[in-house]
Structures are given as structure tokens and as C-alpha cells.
Amino acid sequence: MPELPEVESIKRSLQGLVGKTIARFYFSRVAPVETTSPKQIEKTLHNKKISRLERRGKYLLLHTDPAASLVLHLGMTGKLLLLETPTPREKHTHMELLFSDGTLLRFIDPRRFGTISLACQSDGKDNPFLKKLGLEYNDSTQTRDDYIRQFRSHPKLSLKTALLHQGIIAGVGNIYACEALYRAKLDPRRLVQKTTDEALRKLLQALRQTLDMGIACQGTTLRDYQDGRGTKGSMQNFLQVYGREGKTALQSHHKVIRIIQNNRSTWFAPAVQK
């Protein structure tokens, strides 16, 4: 469910956790804990203080002092809730982080496509998920050519599939991929190898604008997305093509169609996306 702008919004909504000390954990019997065990997570993190929150791609990292990190991915249906006072656990609560001041961070995920894992190195290279991630969408230490090189390393992918590939640019999901391609006026079916550098630059620029707008809107709430404090996003009001099969794009008369690529829906306007 949450893509980069949603995870960024969640991160911002959880800033109040910084400085708090982890007292204990709750894990459900089927918590999606990966590569480690709930016990190990508890042992690694208990009595540590949250020092900083970070987002990498769609992953949220809770860094602690002494150094360790809890690495969360929300998959399709994951949600984090920050509670000052406990409420009854809703169904599909898979983890709770209890802080020494009574604050509670709750991880809820009906489909369990999310993951809970650990990183101990600050660069995250010891985490199997983080080490696969490509560039951040707005990394100022990278040049446009670095981004183009990333795309070029997968010449046979379609542009849509390339955008969804977390090893190229991390954090892009179905909504923002469709929207960025529309903004760049590029056909989602076009192969990277048939796309000029200029067009790839245009795509990168469109992607950045789209994601920045998503963050400014605090995400897209189509069904049930909300940040850690229950705030919904507003980007759903500005989506140009996503979910608009059979209608026109939001601010034009161009017809939107839906196709399937890699088992995912893609919405686009063939008349203007070449």
C-alpha cells in the first residue's frame, strides 16, 4: 500500500519517538519477521533509545543508541499507529513496540506482505532488503548520468517495470510510476533500450516532481492509508491517470486505458504517452 511519499509521511508523523526508550515488544504468532526471530529483535533492541528515523525507498528505519536499527516495510496493507495511550489491539496487529513512557507503536498488516527485520550496521548493508535497494529518488550526491546508468543496466525492462524495480530507484510504486510516466508523456510499455537519454532525464524529472507532490500532499489515500497519527493524504485528488480506466485524464480530454504489465495494472493515456 504505502509507496515512498506515504512512508515519508509516516516517518514525519512518528518523529515524536526520537529520544524514547524501548521497553518491550509484542509479536503476534504470525508476525512477518524476516531473517531473524522476534526474540532476537527484542534482545537486540530492548532498553535502547530511538535516535533517528530514516526512510530508504519504502523502508522505514528506526535507528537506536546504542547502534542498531529496526527495519519496517509495510507491504500492501501495512499501517503504523502511534498511540499515547493503549487501545484494544485491532485484528492483524503483528507487532507492538512499547516505550518506557507508555507510548505504543503498533504495526498492523492484514495481508502480511510487509516485513520486520533488523540492521546493525548504520549503512544497512547487513540487511538483506536494504542492500538490494537502488538510488534514492533525490540523492544530491548522484548526477543525472548516474540515474541514467541505473536505468541502462536493465535495457530490456519496460519503463513502467523499470520504475517499479527497487534496485534502480527505490521507493516507486504503482501509483507514482503511472503518474510519473504520464507527466513525462512516455509510454509505459517502451523499453529502456529504446528510450533516449533525454527521455530518461525527462522521466527522472517527472518522477521527482510526482514524488515531491505526493509528499507535499502527505500521500495518497485511496482506501485506508493514514500516517502514524491517523492523518490521511490528499494526493488522490490530483491523480491524472491512476485508476481512471475508461475516463479521461483528470485535467485533459485524453482517454485513459488500463493494461497489465508484470501482473500489475498500468493506467495511461496512449494519445499523449509515446
Which 191-230 positions form the footprint of DNA (CB under 7 A)? 220-225
The C-alpha atoms of residue 114 and residue 1 are separated, in whole angstroms, by 10
Which 155-184 positions form the footprint of DNA (CB under 7 A)? 155-158, 161, 164, 166, 173-175
Q: How far is the CB of 50 from DNA (least distance, A)?
A: 23
The C-alpha atoms of residue 223 and residue 28 are separated, in whole angstroms, by 25
Contacts with DNA, 8-47, as mask; x by CB under 7 A? ----------------------------------------
Please choose, out of 12-20, 116-124, 154-162, 249-257, the segment that lies near DNA by the rule CB under 7 A. Answer: 154-162
Which residue number, 64 or 228, has a Cβ lying nearer to DNA?
A: 228
Which 91-130 positions form the footprint of DNA (CB under 7 A)? 91-92, 110-113, 129
Which residue number, 23 or 199, has a Cβ lying nearer to DNA?
A: 199
The C-alpha atoms of residue 144 and residue 139 are separated, in whole angstroms, by 10
Which residue number, 50 or 95, has a Cβ lying nearer to DNA?
A: 95
Q: Which residues have a catalytic role annotated?
A: 2-3, 58, 264
Contacts with DNA, 42-81, as mask; x by CB under 7 A? ---------------xx--------------x-xxx----
Which 234-273 positions form the footprint of DNA (CB under 7 A)? 236, 258, 260, 262-265
Q: How far is the CB of 251 from DNA (least distance, A)?
A: 19
Which residue number, 53 or 74, has a Cβ lying nearer to DNA?
A: 74
Which residue number, 161 or 240, has a Cβ lying nearer to DNA?
A: 161
Which position has the grid cell 527484542? 42
- Interior/surface letters 67-90, b for 16+ CB within 10 angstroms, e for the rest: ebbbbbbbbebbbbbbeeeeeeee
Q: How far is the CB of 262 from DNA (least distance, A)?
A: 5
Which residue number, 3 or 50, has a Cβ lying nearer to DNA?
A: 3
Cell numbers for 86: 493503549
Is the N-terminal amide bond of 270 cis, ω within 30° of 0?
no
Binding residues (CB under 7 A) for DNA: these are: 1-3, 57-58, 73, 75-77, 91-92, 110-113, 129, 132, 154-158, 161, 164, 166, 173-175, 220-225, 236, 258, 260, 262-265
